[in-house]
Amino acid sequence: KTFRIAAVPADGVGREVVAAGREVLDALASAGDFAFDWAEFDWGCDYYQRTGRMMAEDGLDQLKAFDAVYFGAVGWPSVPDHVSLWGLRLAVCQGFDQWANVRPVRFLPGVTSPLRKADHVPLDWVVVRENSEGEYAGLGGRNLAARGPGSEVAVQSSLFTEAGCERIIRYAFELAATRERKHVTSVTKSNAQQFGMVLWDDVFRRVAAEYPHVDSDSCLVDAMAARFVLRPEELSVVVASNLHADILSDLGSALAGSLGLAASANLNPERRFPSMFEPVHGSAPDIAGQGIANPIGAIGSAALMLDHLGLPDEAARLERAIEATTAAGVLPRDLGGTASTKEIALAVIDSLG
């Protein structure tokens, strides 16, 4: 079988890590009975400089025909970040109703975690992020006609719908039911945000009652940040709103060793539209162009894509190859090693077995 994949490397290290991930995927395919038919799109901040748009006007129509989108990262100092993010990454996530953003956090062998006890504690959780509404619903505006300096007011509202809360919470319970530790922790700030997040809590209690074999608890986001650091071994599936899960998943990946390690899937679970697979990190302008970016987040995202394409054995093979690579001490700069982006990709390919 041939899978049609749209590669959108976009900006900065996104280009470097997507190139590395593509090499690994092609190596995997050449040894298997499937193939990837790639189309690469040059959308991103350079494209914006040329055209005034982050992606083609009919970009979503162009992507619709693909089995999946393999994404790098958006953002470059030449374009305001809210323009680049909304113009490309959020346009795809929201346009294709990729309402579940799944972000696994795992402790890899050979990687030193800032958590002292991490050598003994197997970190293994999944952050499930609501990816279609919440704080990133894009509702609000600025009072640009404000009278005089210092008088402007801006409103940024969150949107929580019962249906939106229910589908992501249910997704989290279904996922937890497949894991060894059948536990879901819901994260809100419903003491201070008394409308949307209280609705979320109500829906969470209702859905939890339908899953008697999955344990659950609720935690306020500030306490959760501390719990990530102090008692990470308690966690299995963590479900949270768009903003909270965004922050917690960066914290989680840093605790596992580096932001460069973290993989993610933006899923349209109904499969009406393609899903998108991307590392959690951004375009890292501070290290872009040097060939030293950590590609493990992007390669792990490729494994999530294989799983989504119906190749779970290949996904597991790729996960094992990543573990063998870090266990052998082939580590990028951000993990204290010296290996380049390309060297890590080659080491993963060598470890595919």
Number of residues that bind ligand NAI (CB under 6 A): 22
- Residues in the interface with Mg ion (CB under 5 A) total 1
* Site stretch for ligand NAI (CB under 6 A), options 218-226, 236-244, 275-283, 344-352: 275-283
Q: Which is nearer to ligand NAI, 73 or 239 (CB)?
A: 73
Give the number of other Cβ atoms within 10 Å of residue 332's Cβ.
23
Residue 16 binds to Mg ion (criterion: CB under 5 A): no
Q: Which tokens sit at 322?
A: 């990543």
List 238, 239, 245, 287, residue binding ligand NAI (CB under 6 A): 287
Tell me how far apart the alpha carbons of residues 134 and 154 are, in angstroms, rounded to a whole number: 17
Nearer to Mg ion, 237 or 280 (CB): 280
Q: In this structure, how many other beta carbons lie within 10 angstroms of the beta carbon of residue 124?
A: 17
Q: Which stretch binds ligand NAI (CB under 6 A): 200-208, 265-273, 277-285, 311-319?
A: 277-285
**Ranges within 298-317 binding ligand NAI (CB under 6 A):** none
> Given the rule CB under 5 A, which of 115-123, 158-166, 223-231, 245-253 is the region that contacts Mg ion?
245-253
Nearest to 130 by CA among 278, 305, 266, 302: 266
Query: Is the Cβ of residue 182 or residue 333 nearer to ligand NAI in the bound state?
Result: 333
Phi, psi (5° rounding) for residue 48? -65, -40
Structure letter (DSSP) for residue 88: I
Q: Which does 89 bind (CB under 5 to 8 A by kind): Mg ion, ligand NAI, none?
A: ligand NAI
Among 43, 69, 87, 89, binds ligand NAI (CB under 6 A): 89
Give the nearest distance from C-beta 286 to ligand NAI in angstroms.
Answer: 5
Q: Which alpha helices (DSSP H) does 71-161 contain, by range? A: 81-84, 90-95
Tokens read off for 259: 């932001």
Inter-axis angle of helices 196-208 and 162-177, nearest 10: 40
In order, the DSSP letters of 41-53 are ---SHHHHHHHSS
Query: Is 341 within 8 Å of 287 (Cβ atoms)?
Result: no
Strands, sheet with 237-240, edge to edge from the N-terminal-most edge strand: 35-40, 2-10, 68-73, 275-279, 263-267, 100-106, 124-130, 237-240, 183-188, 215-220
- Single out the residue of 98, 283, 326, 340 in contact with ligand NAI (rule: CB under 6 A): 283
How big is the chain, counted in residues?
353
> Which residue in 106, 131, 119 sits closest to 253, CA to CA?
106
Q: Which 220-239 positions form the footprint of ligand NAI (CB under 6 A)?
A: none
Quote the least distance from Cβ 30 to ligand NAI, whole Å: 25
Residue 246 as a binder of Mg ion (CB under 5 A): the answer is yes
Residue nearest to ligand NAI (CB): 75
User: Which one among 128, 239, 240, 293 touches ligand NAI, defined by CB under 6 A?
Assistant: 293
- Report the C-alpha gap between 322 and 1 in whole angstroms: 25
Could you tell me if residue 288 is left (phi over 0), alpha (psi between -120 and 50 degrees) or otherwise beta? beta
Residue placing its CB nearer to ligand NAI in the complex, 59 or 282? 282
- Contacted entry of Mg ion, ligand NAI, none for residue 246, CB cut-off 5 to 8 Å set by kind: Mg ion
To Mg ion, the closest distance from the beta carbon of 6 in angstroms equals 22
Strands 215-220 and 68-73: unpaired
Beta strands in the chain (DSSP E): 2-10, 35-40, 68-73, 100-106, 124-130, 134-142, 154-159, 183-188, 215-220, 237-240, 263-267, 275-279
Smallest distance from Mg ion to CB 250, Å = 5
The stretch near ligand NAI (CB under 6 A) out of 105-113, 149-157, 282-290, 345-353 is 282-290
Write out the binding residues for ligand NAI, residues 48-77 only, by CB under 6 A.
73-75
Residues that bind Mg ion in the complex, under the rule CB under 5 A: 246
Residues that bind ligand NAI in the complex, under the rule CB under 6 A: 13, 17, 73-75, 81, 85, 89, 259-260, 278, 281-287, 293-294, 297, 334
